[in-house]
Structure 1
Amino acid sequence: MTTAERHIYAAGNTARGYRTLYDSVLAGLDRIYLLTGVVEGITSGLIETMGKELAKKTHQVEWIHSPFMNGQYDGIVFPELKVAIMDYSYPRIWRPQGPGVKEIQVNLQTALIPDKLAPYKDKIAGWYEKIFAYDQQAYTAYGEALRIHDDWEAIYISNLDPQAANQITEEVKELFFGQGSLPKESRVRRMYLGAATPAGPVDHIMKLTDQLDKRYFIKGRPGSGKSTMLKKLVEEAVKNGMDVEVYHCGLDPHSLDMVILPEKSVAIFDSTAPHEYFPSKETDEVIDMYARAITPGTDEKYSDQIHQIKTRYTQKVKEANAYLVDAKDLREQLNAAYWDATDQTRLRAIGQAILSVLARNN
């Protein structure tokens, strides 16, 4: 059996704090197993083990990556089974819809050996306090970076031709929706395009779009209308009854970076730094917002000002990233303590129990 794998982010370290889109990502599922009682270093490994086992029995798997620890997972979704297995450790908590019915909590503390964890008691409290402090410092720095980015955008907004930008949007609308609507209600699913992580910005754009028939790479500058166009395309998709995947910006959740229309097998995305890509297939196309909607010579006219803004922005992003690295180092110590105090046989038994239940119900 060939299994199609997707990799996404459902939560992020943003300029507006830690923000999740779990309600949207997990919508429509029948059961969500919530792994509680320990730390992400324990839950991620269990999620990966169970995910690989279940992947052998289904055609679709969606890995949800952690924005805190590169290479770890916040969860896994099996669309065909309508099941998800999720890390429910701090701060990954969201509003339940049916505890015990839809959300099934699995307490992994039963796999802990108390005598082995007890020596870490004071350290654990201190680690959590420092991790929280570093995360908040990162969010503050990202917030300052976003305000600097607003100054960057303002230059191009003041030199934007609204009519030209609207014309581009109308052209894309015609390409996507000119053949009529579908007789159903649209399903809108929201995720993050990528995430700010301890290793810097990470995304999975190319993997998410590689199998699609058509990709549009939007080029431009901050403030050249990229996100506005994507928002209008989402509105149009909803009006036309088409399912749409909406990918929010990892820095500013209020901004959009990519839209995928699965039924059209098409993606359109902001292809500028820090997620800059270039066409690699014959069917790929570029939409250049700067060339078509910005006053010619804007880059040159404001070059000194833009350079200063870019420098300030880059410095602030690096500062924020450094705080994430500090938090990651403490998370690794926290995870190591819990790993040392975990009975691996019991942990595997919990995983097998979940898999057995899923096998009976599917």
Structure 2
Amino acid sequence: MGAKILRYFAGGNTAKGFYSLYDSNLADLERVFILSGKSKKEKSNIIHHFINKWNEYDYPMEIIHRASNPDDVEGLIIRNLNFAIVDGDHPREIGKEQICSQWETIDLDQSDRTAHLEDELNEVIDLKLKIEQSYLKAYKAYESGLKVHDEWERIYIDHMNFDLADNVAKSLISTLFKKPVAPANKDSDVKRRFLGAATPIGPVDFVDNITEGLGARYFIKGRAGTGKSTLLKKIAAEAENNGYDVEIYHCGFDPNSLDMVVVRELGWAVFDSTQPHEYFPTRAGDEVVDMYELTVAPGTDEAFAEEIANIEARYREQMKLGKLYLAEAKKYEDELEEIYGKVSDLSQTNLMIEELEHLLVNHSSHS
């Protein structure tokens, strides 16, 4: 039997540019191996090696997926062994908040393989520039999309009953925290992540994986601007104030908003269950909380139908553009990987894996 695997994104392509939440997940670990090197594929292969190896030991694992290619991975955390191995190259920000003495950078390019790229050096430079430009265009599209989304929100905010929204929050918080609170001497451990990301193939999320095994799931429904994120922020604050460990999942489009709060000690998740991560109840313990039905003046959808349709069309157009530019960036990244593949040294990679295995075995024997 394999270990319980939790999958999520720690960095995302958002309306605020590339947004990193790595430090929140790495900060308390004793040993972090940060992989540095030109080839993303090489780093992913090394991480996959350790996922397969440690999966045999039945340790719970956290696998961090790559937003630029969601089938690929860029990090592995095993908290029982207090260690992680991650791709630490740009645009990720790792170690900004806290650097532990046991954090170690592994340079996969230490043999200076660029010496073997002389014939293709201009092509490499050109592809890197194209990749950077494609990402900038994607972020610009998402930024424009967020401005359109603000127009969408304004319609519902103007027709929302905030007293009713407060009552919904109080009622749900009362339900979620009806069990005895955690001991007062326990500090809350807060982890910030993304449950989904904008990717070259469109939005991808891990809602089913993250909520697997939880006894209760609350699906927050509603339109843009109906207080879903505000509700989640109140729930997260309550969990933190009561000393519970809490997983806070930020919105992959606007990282200032929240998409999900999970408190495993109490066995529940509350999440924004609207597009692009729309889910419906499928099991016992699933419950819908519809903010539109509960807090917005009846008939708002109908009264503003034409305006909403116009806004939605403009919003979808920007999302489509963003996806197009992310796909363009991936195409250039794949071409770059082909060039790096020509000078990759499998024996050197295997030596690096052996060295890391030795370090991890020694580390785990003392954990």
Q: Give the structure-2-normalised TM-score.
A: 0.95
Instruction: List per-residue Cα deviations over 1:207-249 (Å, max 9, x = no partner).
Output: 1102111101111111111000000011111111111100000
Match of 1:16 in 2: 16
Equivalent position SS for 1:65: strand
Equivalent position SS for 1:287: strand
- The code of the aligned residue for 1:208 comes to I
Match of 1:320 in 2: 322
What are the within-5 Å matches in structure 2 for residues 183-262 of structure 1? 183=183, 184-262=186-264
Q: Is the 8 A contact 1:58 1:80 kept in 2?
A: no
Deviation at 1:27, TM superposition (A): 2.1
Equivalent position SS for 2:180: coil
Match of 2:150 in 1: 150
Match of 2:307 in 1: 305
- The code of the aligned residue for 2:304 comes to Y
Deviation at 1:163, TM superposition (A): 1.0
Q: Is the 8 A contact 2:20 2:93 kept in 1?
A: no
Instruction: List per-residue Cα deviations over 1:84-135 (Å, max 9, x = no partner).
Output: 1011222223335447x32201111146655543322111111111111111
Q: Is the 8 A contact 1:112 1:342 kept in 2?
A: no
- The code of the aligned residue for 1:189 comes to K
Match of 2:293 in 1: 291
Deviation at 1:351, TM superposition (A): 1.1
Deviation at 1:196, TM superposition (A): 0.4
Match of 1:133 in 2: 133
Match of 1:163 in 2: 163
Instruction: List per-residue Cα deviations over 1:167-210 (Å, max 9, x = no partner).
Output: 11001111122333212111111001210000101100011102
Matched, 1:4 2:4: yes
Matched, 1:337 2:339: yes
- The code of the aligned residue for 1:228 comes to T
Equivalent position SS for 1:160: coil
Equivalent position SS for 2:274: coil
Equivalent position SS for 1:306: helix
Equivalent position SS for 2:220: strand
Q: Is the 8 A contact 1:47 1:75 kept in 2?
A: yes
Matched, 1:267 2:269: yes
What is the rounded CA distance, in whole Å, between the counterparts of 2:152 and 2:222 in structure 1?
Answer: 13
Instruction: List per-residue Cα deviations over 1:6-65 (Å, max 9, x = no partner).
Output: 110000000001110011011211111011132212211111112211222242111101
Match of 1:56 in 2: 56
Equivalent position SS for 1:328: helix
Unaligned runs of 5+ in 1: none
What is the rounded CA distance, in whole Å, between the counterparts of 1:237 and 1:23 in structure 2?
Answer: 21
Q: Is the 8 A contact 1:40 1:89 kept in 2?
A: no
What is the rounded CA distance, in whole Å, between the counterparts of 2:140 and 2:287 in structure 1?
Answer: 37
1:351 to 338, 353, 357: 353
Q: Is the 8 A contact 2:220 2:272 kept in 1?
A: yes
Match of 2:66 in 1: 66
Unaligned runs of 5+ in 2: none
- Provide closer, same or farther for how the CA distance between residues 147 and 358 of structure 1 changes in structure 2, counting only shifts above 3 A: same
Match of 1:174 in 2: 174
What is the rounded CA distance, in whole Å, between the counterparts of 1:72 and 1:120 in structure 2?
Answer: 26
Matched, 1:28 2:28: yes
Of 137-146 and 334-343, more deviation after overlay is shown by 334-343
What are the within-5 Å matches in structure 2 for residues 35-54 of structure 1? 35-54=35-54
What is the rounded CA distance, in whole Å, between the counterparts of 2:295 and 2:161 in structure 1?
Answer: 5
Deviation at 1:2, TM superposition (A): 3.7
Q: Is the 8 A contact 1:111 1:344 kept in 2?
A: no
- The sequence identity of aligned pairs, in percent, is 37
- The code of the aligned residue for 1:147 comes to K
Q: Is the 8 A contact 2:22 2:93 kept in 1?
A: no
What is the rounded CA distance, in whole Å, between the counterparts of 2:208 and 2:273 in structure 1?
Answer: 11
Match of 2:363 in 1: 361
Q: Is the 8 A contact 2:157 2:225 kept in 1?
A: yes
Q: Is the 8 A contact 1:111 1:343 kept in 2?
A: no
What is the rounded CA distance, in whole Å, between the counterparts of 1:357 and 1:233 in structure 2?
Answer: 41
Give the number of equivalent residue pairs: 361
Q: Is the 8 A contact 1:33 1:106 kept in 2?
A: yes
